[in-house]
Every structure is written in structure tokens, then in C-alpha cells.
Structure 1
Amino acid sequence: MQRFVDTDQRRPEKRSAEDRRDDFHEIYRGFEERQAAAQASRCAQCGVPFCSSGCPLGNHIPDWLRLAAEGEHQEAYELSASTSAMPEICGRICPQDRLCEGSCVVEQSGHGTLTIGAVEQYLTDKAWNEGWVEPIAPRAEREESVGIIGAGPAGLAAADRLRAMGYQVTIYDRYDRAGGLLTYGIPGFKLEKDVVERRVRRLAEGGVTFRRNVAVGENLPFSEIEEAHDAVLIATGVYKARELSAPGVGSSGVVRALDYLTASNRKGFGDAVAEFDSGALNALGKRVVVVGGGDTAMDCVRTATRQGATSVTCVYRRDRDNMPGSATEVRNAEEEGVVFEWLASPKLVLGDAGRAEGLRVARMRLGPPDISGRRAPEEVTGAEDDFEADLVIKALGFTPEDLPGAFGKPDLHLTRHGTLKVDPRSFATPLPGIFAAGDIVRGASLVVWAVHDGQKAAKGIHDYLQEKARTVRPETVGQQETRYDPRAYEAVAS
């Protein structure tokens, strides 16, 4: 260990921009064993591991890096998986530069951060290949059942932990495939879909029931789910797109980011997608302008280059240093030919009601910090520019849907942002037996935070059902206490 002084930082090999623009495969080739061991050996084994505190899941990063450097790959994987239900997914799509790697002491010393995410991905991919990822096999089955609304990362993570403790788990999801944004929102060049599918398959083979094409509050009342289960977890995510406030946004050719990304991912699965085939959600041969500066905007611009757009421009109202998206994703996009127009705010969609022909932007400057601490953009009077565009994609983020109204539960309390209000420790709502986790609680956020919330909610549900069992059936307390797998409980509790 502590080889950072004589071993340089090396990231996994990245395919050339020319090569990767032709397909939707992941752009990194991944570590080989020798490379993973060498990079893991750079860890300083800090007495106070800031990388762990920088990880929302509190992963035991120095410990499994040491094991990886020593060649104890299976033990390293098991330690990694003890705190994360999806280590290979987080290893691929977490913005490590803002989390664990950004907190690395080696990075602060000037030797270059550890490539934590790449080692995590290597360990778990190897675990799948070697058969170390064991099926979910509870030591004993429980009678209590839990219904989970939403098959995104929060719902899947909660299902993993609850099923390991023996609960009967059913997941209800609006889509025909499980995974939520992992499946339909994130492009394959960041997360190939077989990586998500094998996680879903493990849950199904472990006894989790999936009910797909179920829109709770539309074709299935929430009350039916509540009556069918001893506890319910709401993990719907946030899907209502923020709208662009500018004249002309109703023109044909102005589309929502999630609609665009979903159409692209569906085509990757081989589905028939009428709006893609008609060209409405296809960038082929078009001048594309994407509005926004988050990771969803980066997904859109990089998807457009792969679809054969003639030009791709990203318009964002702040500068590079103040954008919310990953700096790594910006670099990847620039390598692939995307042009960034910083300090530019949409003012008018050019063209007519029948077809968008461009976007007029106002030039901005950064003023004093706003309530969030970021410098607020201010319009520069008289400074405008026009960009030609056949396709304008709105990637301005997402807000919560009206779940209290849709579910017929007005007592579901909301924050001022429209998200569900829960107890921060148990993730319980004010309604008995109803819990919530993921983006529907914290707002549009990172996948790793959704996994964190799902795992914590699973513990909250477990504690609730245990307390309920002690209250309702006190004579079975001893039996209940010996039926769960302590290792599974410890994984959830961590």
C-alpha cells in the first residue's frame, strides 16, 4: 500500500472519440487485474478515510482497496457489496470526482486521486464472472409483505435488503422493464443495459415479484397496494419535467429530455418507437441544441452525436465552474464534438408554430451568490445570439408529480419543493406503514443517494414491522427475533 509516491494515477483506457461516436457501448474498457491491483495499491490507508465520508453509502473504501491490492478479490467484493446493493452500477455512473475521489487525501497531496470507481467496477464485474454474487437466499421466510412502488435504484436497493431478510416483496412499476432511469434514462455508453438486467434478474430469482406496466394512481389504486401489504415504500422518483419559459416552446421540434432519452434507449432494446422512426425524437441529420447543464443534458448531447446529428450545442446559463453536471462528462462531450455555450439563457425559440428553426439566447454574467450559494446569472442588456436548430431538447431537471392527489392520500405531507416529507432516520411518512425513499424524498439527485435511501428505508420498514409484531403478537417475539439473518440486518443498518 501507499504506492502513490511511485505509482502514477492511471484510469481505465478510454475508447477514441471517433470510435465511440459510432455506437452506444460503454466508453471505458475497464481495468485488468494487474491495473486494478496497481491503482488500489496507491491508497494511503488514511486513519480518517475522507473517501468513505465523501461516499453517501459510507463504503469501506480503504479496506477493500487494500484487499484488492493484495489479490483478495472475492473478499474485497463482499466488503464492497456489504454497504451497496449496486456497487458495479455506482462504480460506473457515480460522479466520483465530486464524491469519494474528490475527497481523497492523495488527491489533496498533489499525487492524483485514487481511481476508486474503476476498481469498484472491476471487483464487482469479476464477482459476476466468477460466480461470487450469491443468489438471495433468506435463512427463513417471513409472513409480512412489502409493496414497493417504483423499480428504480431506490426501489431495487430496498427490495434487495428486504428480501435478504425474508420479507415477501412485490415491486410495482409504470414501465415494461425494471430499472427506472437506470434502464430508460441513462444511455448505454455510460451504463450498458445488461448490467442493470442482471441485478433485476437476481432479485426476481431471489423471490421478488415484479408487476410491470402498472401506473399506481391510474390503472391501479394506491389503496389496493396498501391493503395487500403490511408496509408500502414509495420510490417513484421524480418525472415531471421542468418547462422552458420562452416564447415558441410549443413548436414542433422542441422536446423533453426524458422523452428523447427513453426513445433512444427503447430503440437500443429493439423496440418499435414511432416517434423515433418519424424523426421527432431522433437527431439524425439535425442541428441540435440542448438547454441545461446537468448530467441529463450531458446524456442528451452525447446521445445526439451518436445518432448522427450534424451539430450539437449545449446552452447553459452559468459558466463551466458553476454547472451542476459532472466535469468528466463535459470533457467526454467536448471530445465527441459537442460545443458548449456558457453564460447563455434561452429567450426565444425561432421559427413558427409548425417547426422550430433555432434558439435565441441572452448572454449572461454571474452576479452575487443566490440562496444556494452559487452565483446567480444576470442578463447582459442587449447581448443576444441566435443558434440554428432543428431539434431543441429541454434538459432543465425534474420536479415531483402530485402523489397525494394521484394516490388519494392528502395526508402525505409535502415539503415546499413538492417532495414527500419523511422521518430522516426511518424514511417513514406520517401514514402508518407508508415509507418513501429516493428522489421523491430528496428531489432529483444522484443514483448513489437513491441506493442509500432505499437501503435505509428497508431498515426503517424492518424496524416498523418488528415493532408491529411485538405489539400485535407478543407471544411470538422470541421467534421473530431469531428468524432474520443478522448479516443481512447489519448490511442494512450500515
Structure 2
Amino acid sequence: MGQLMGFLNIEKKNQKERKTVERVLDWNEYKIPLAESEAKEQAARCMDCGIPYCQIGTTINRGTTGCPIHNLIPEWNDLVYHGLWKEAYDRLAKTNNFPEFTSKACPAPCEGSCTAGFVSSPVSIKSIERAIIDRAFDEGWVVPKPPKRRTGKKVAVIGSGPAGLACADQLNKVGHEVTVFERSDRPGGLLMYGIPSMKIEKDVVDRRIHLLEEEGIIFKTNVDVGKTISVQSLKESFDAVVLCTGAGKHREVTIEGRDLKGISPAMEYLIASNRHQLYGEPLQPDYDAKDKHIIVIGGGDTGEDCVATAIRQGCKSVVQFGKHGKLPEQRTEKNPWPQHPNVFSVDYAYEEAEDVLGKDPREYYVETKKFIGDEVNHVSNLITGSFKKDQDDESAQKTWKADLVLIAIGFQGAEDKIFEDFEVSRDSSGRVIDADTRGYQTSQEGIFAAGDARRGASLIVWAIEEGRKAAAAVDLYLDKKLSLLH
């Protein structure tokens, strides 16, 4: 274990962050990794407790508790503490295909259920994970490892987000020939175009894609299954197909004035911004926040990324509407440990808004009632009420200036017609309903589903876990072996 009483005697320290007034001027990553000595000291706070809730990976009260991919957290913490970095990387890579993604974009439910957090501050697990994988790449430990034999079986994976990549990686490791089909022009799914570069820089994604290619995985981009290539030809050419298309269909609002110009789904806005940064593609006016008053409807992570993006584009102001109230400063009785703590925090975008624009952009209990347009049918204002039950609707009404409105109220499952083509059933939320967590196979022979397409929009770690387990199910289906089960 780590240092005796380390969780009490050593103050918790996370990765540092670049100064807000500097980082909003570019699109580079905003976090600064821990130094080696800092990572070792933070690892010393881990007590290797008898029941490591940090790695249980389950759902309690609709929230994620612990690490869904069951990272061997106490083990690699102890190895870091003793300076055994290569061994720490080996343990990390045993359960996590892509630590360079999770250590940047995962909200770290492992820390929320860390036993040390019950009496003190939790261990800085995410920061230590980042230190391990950065060290592994710097030292050249992350190298292509093509399988020593091929089984002769072929698998098609549709979608190249974290679920598809994890599934492909696992299947390739045991020798199956894997081809990943991606509708976009570049692999990575939301890792590439949905998440802003200040959270995951795109060369980090490219680096992993190149490694997977060197290991034998084939990527085919600009392929829209059902259009560019037929479902029937896939069934004839491959022994199994895994649907990992994600859950990109955004939730809509049915509000008067929704058809006005200047109102866009949040993900379309983020994708446009990412493509502008990557390729210099000109921004359409409805995706450019420069010198505009921005309203973001929706209080989640996607909305937060919109806030950070709008600030970097040079907006005049940005406000984010949430339907719920402000979270408490401490856990409530209804949110006990080891559940993920639903407590108030000032994340990166909100810190930037406070420092650059002078105000936390979040507004609470806000219900959007109506969009108002100008003479050219472009949104100019919106009217809101309150979700508070005890507040009179008329007195709660307020008018807001809005040159650009971004809708970030979540997703409704997969948007692809591909499920109909494969004759796979979905529920009202757009999730595949005939593939369970034991077999991942749909009602159609040899057709599997995983990730957000099956589970619904969720965390990156759940997507990786789904991809890994679906791969194990496919391997069992093809070779009647349990080689990928863990």
C-alpha cells in the first residue's frame, strides 16, 4: 500500500491548469500534467483498502459508482509510489485500451467512490492515470503488438468512437481480422469531432488510430453503411458485425420560434468548431459566436463545452440554462458515499467565463418559453419562465438577448437508419433493446451492438467497457472460446 496515513497527511493535488486568460486565446489542452514527484506523492495517499470501491464499476441511483472498466487502481497507484512506472503501465493497460482518452475526458467516478473520500479528499486517480500513460508514451512502451496468429474470421465494426475502437482492438488482439467502418472522413467519432481540443487534442486521437492500424486493424472512412455499402454485402463478407454507432440523435425542443435561424443543436456547433480548427473550414454564421450574445439550453457537459468554445470564439456574453437548481456544496443524505458526489463545482468553462466575462454563466430552474426573431427571421431574443413549482409563471418571465442559441439537452439514441436495415429493434429512446449485457448479440444472427447505441448516451468509460465485453461475446460466438472474458 501507499504511505501509512498518507490520505490524511498528504494534501490532495490534481493536475494544474493553465491560466484562464491565456488558454482562452488558443485551442490547446488546458491541463498541465503532474510532475513525476507529484504523481508519486499523490499515489502515496492510496491505502489499497480492503474493498476498493474505486474499481467496482456499477450504477447506483442512476449514477456511475466506481470505474466501469474496473481499472486496477490500487495496484498501479502502489507501483507509481514505488517508482515502478513500466509495471504501473502494464497494469493500467490490462483493463483500459485507451488511458490517454479516459485520463482527459472521463469525469472520474472512481474518485467519487474512493474510500479515502469518505473521511478526507479522494485520491487523485485521474491525474495519476494521466501521469502513467504520458510516461508510457514518452518512454516508448506503447508500441504496436500485432497478433501472432490470425483466425481467418472477419468482423465488421460500424462506428469508430471509443466503443468501436475498444471492440476492434480486443478482437484484433486474439487474431480476428477487423475492419472499422466510419461515416465521417476521419476515425475517432466524438473523440475527434465532438470533444473540443482543449480537452483532447486531436493528435492524441490520431496517435492511437495509427497504432491500431499498425496492429492490423483496417479503417474505412466516408462509408455510410446502408448507402455507400449495403447491409447485405456486409453480412456476406463478414462473419460478425458489431453496431457501435453511438447515440448522436439530439433531443429537440418544441418551442414557438424554433424554426428561426441562429438556433442549432450543440453537437453540430462543436463539430463545426472542431473542423474549423483542424482544416480551416469556414464557420457558418450560426456556428460562429464572435461578438454575439450566446444562450446554451442545457446544463450538462456538452453545454459546458459550448460555453468554453464560445468564449474562445470571442463571444460578447454566454449564459447556460439548467432546468434544475444549483447543486449543494456537500453531499446530501440522498447522495451518500460511495455514490458519485452530486455537488457544486466550478469546472474549466465556468472558471473561464468568470475570469474573462466576469460571471459564472449558469442560470438555474430556467424554462425556455419562446424564441423571438428579427426582421430577417433570425433569433434575437428568447423568453423564459421558471421550473420552480412555488414560483408564479408570469412573475418569473424574463427576456434575454440572444444572437445564437445552442440546444444541449441530451441525446435520443442512435440516429442511423442502419438499425432498420439490419432489422434490429430499438426502444423509444433509440437504444437497441434486443442485445443484453451478457451476450451483446441482437435477435439477428451474428449481429451485435455495444456502446451508446445499446446503452444510451453515457460516459467514455462505459463505452470502452461495452466495446470490450461485446468483443468477448463476438469471440465466443466465432471461436467458442473465453479468451477475452475478464
TM-score by length of 1: 0.88
In the other structure, the counterpart of 2:365 is 343
Query: Residue 432 of structure 1: SS of its match in structure 2?
Result: coil
AA aligned to 1:393 is: L
Query: Residue 241 of structure 1: SS of its match in structure 2?
Result: coil
Aligned counterparts, 1:361-380, within 5 A? 361-365=384-388, 380=393
In the other structure, the counterpart of 2:356 is none
In the other structure, the counterpart of 1:442 is 455
In the other structure, the counterpart of 1:102 is 112
Structure 1 residue 426 displacement after superposition: 1.9
| Residues 15-49 of structure 1: per-residue CA shift (max 9 Å, x gap) | 11111111111111111111110101110110110
Query: CA–CA distance in 2 between the matches of 1:326 and 1:149?
Result: 34
Query: Residue 398 of structure 1: SS of its match in structure 2?
Result: coil
2:88 aligned with 1:65, yes or no? no
2:291–2:314 contact (8 Å) kept in structure 1: yes
Structure 1 residue 406 displacement after superposition: 5.6
Query: CA–CA distance in 2 between the matches of 1:326 and 1:250?
Result: 35
Query: Residue 302 of structure 1: SS of its match in structure 2?
Result: helix
1:315–1:344 contact (8 Å) kept in structure 2: yes
In the other structure, the counterpart of 1:244 is 253
Spell out structure 1 runs of 4+ moving beyond 6 A. Answer: 324-329
2:100–2:130 contact (8 Å) kept in structure 1: yes
1:266 to 237, 261, 275: 275
RMSD: 2.0
| Residues 363-392 of structure 1: per-residue CA shift (max 9 Å, x gap) | 12168xxxxxxxxxx974541111101000
Structure 1 residue 189 displacement after superposition: 0.9
Query: Do the aligned partners of residues 62 and 446 (structure 1) sit closer, same or farther apart at CA in structure 2, a change above 3 Å counting?
Result: same
Query: Do the aligned partners of residues 196 and 108 (structure 1) sit closer, same or farther apart at CA in structure 2, a change above 3 Å counting?
Result: same
Structure 1 residue 58 displacement after superposition: 0.8
2:8 aligned with 1:5, yes or no? yes
Query: CA–CA distance in 1 between the matches of 2:392 and 2:21?
Result: 37
In the other structure, the counterpart of 1:393 is 406
1:356 to 375, 379, 385: 379
Query: Residue 321 of structure 1: SS of its match in structure 2?
Result: coil
Query: Do the aligned partners of residues 174 and 379 (structure 1) sit closer, same or farther apart at CA in structure 2, a change above 3 Å counting?
Result: farther
Query: CA–CA distance in 1 between the matches of 2:289 and 2:345?
Result: 20
AA aligned to 1:343 is: Y
> Mind listing any 5+ residue stretches in structure 2 that lack a counterpart?
57-65, 329-339, 354-359
1:95–1:326 contact (8 Å) kept in structure 2: no
Query: Residue 362 of structure 1: SS of its match in structure 2?
Result: strand
Structure 1 residue 279 displacement after superposition: 2.2
1:456 to 461, 469, 476: 469
Query: Residue 17 of structure 2: SS of its match in structure 1?
Result: coil
More deviation, 334-343/183-192:
334-343
Query: CA–CA distance in 2 between the matches of 1:234 and 1:205?
Result: 23
2:247–2:415 contact (8 Å) kept in structure 1: no
Aligned counterparts, 1:213-362, within 5 A? 213-273=222-282, 276=283, 278-321=284-327, 330-337=346-353, 338-352=360-374, 354-362=377-385
Query: Residue 285 of structure 2: SS of its match in structure 1?
Result: coil
| Residues 115-150 of structure 1: per-residue CA shift (max 9 Å, x gap) | 101110110111111111131321211100000000
| Residues 349-376 of structure 1: per-residue CA shift (max 9 Å, x gap) | 1224621002211112168xxxxxxxxx
Query: CA–CA distance in 1 between the matches of 2:27 and 2:343?
Result: 20
1:150–1:234 contact (8 Å) kept in structure 2: yes
> Mind listing any 5+ residue stretches in structure 1 that lack a counterpart?
368-377, 468-480
Structure 1 residue 200 displacement after superposition: 0.7
In the other structure, the counterpart of 2:39 is 36
AA aligned to 2:380 is: E
| Residues 295-346 of structure 1: per-residue CA shift (max 9 Å, x gap) | 1111111110111001010011111329x99978743222111411111011
Query: CA–CA distance in 1 between the matches of 2:377 and 2:212?
Result: 47
Query: CA–CA distance in 2 between the matches of 1:267 and 1:315?
Result: 26
Query: CA–CA distance in 2 between the matches of 1:345 and 1:102?
Result: 30
1:217–1:406 contact (8 Å) kept in structure 2: no
1:232–1:434 contact (8 Å) kept in structure 2: yes
Query: Do the aligned partners of residues 447 and 327 (structure 1) sit closer, same or farther apart at CA in structure 2, a change above 3 Å counting?
Result: farther
Query: Do the aligned partners of residues 220 and 247 (structure 1) sit closer, same or farther apart at CA in structure 2, a change above 3 Å counting?
Result: same
Structure 1 residue 14 displacement after superposition: 1.0
In the other structure, the counterpart of 1:375 is none
In the other structure, the counterpart of 1:433 is 446
2:294–2:404 contact (8 Å) kept in structure 1: yes
In the other structure, the counterpart of 2:61 is none
1:363–1:385 contact (8 Å) kept in structure 2: no
Query: CA–CA distance in 2 between the matches of 1:225 and 1:271?
Result: 35
Query: Residue 16 of structure 2: SS of its match in structure 1?
Result: coil
TM-score by length of 2: 0.90
Structure 1 residue 454 displacement after superposition: 0.2
Query: Do the aligned partners of residues 219 and 366 (structure 1) sit closer, same or farther apart at CA in structure 2, a change above 3 Å counting?
Result: farther
2:432 to 415, 420, 423: 420
Structure 1 residue 400 displacement after superposition: 2.5
Query: Residue 261 of structure 2: SS of its match in structure 1?
Result: coil
2:100 aligned with 1:91, yes or no? no
More deviation, 433-442/328-337:
328-337
1:157 to 152, 157, 166: 166
Query: Do the aligned partners of residues 350 and 321 (structure 1) sit closer, same or farther apart at CA in structure 2, a change above 3 Å counting?
Result: same
Query: Residue 314 of structure 1: SS of its match in structure 2?
Result: strand
1:294–1:326 contact (8 Å) kept in structure 2: no
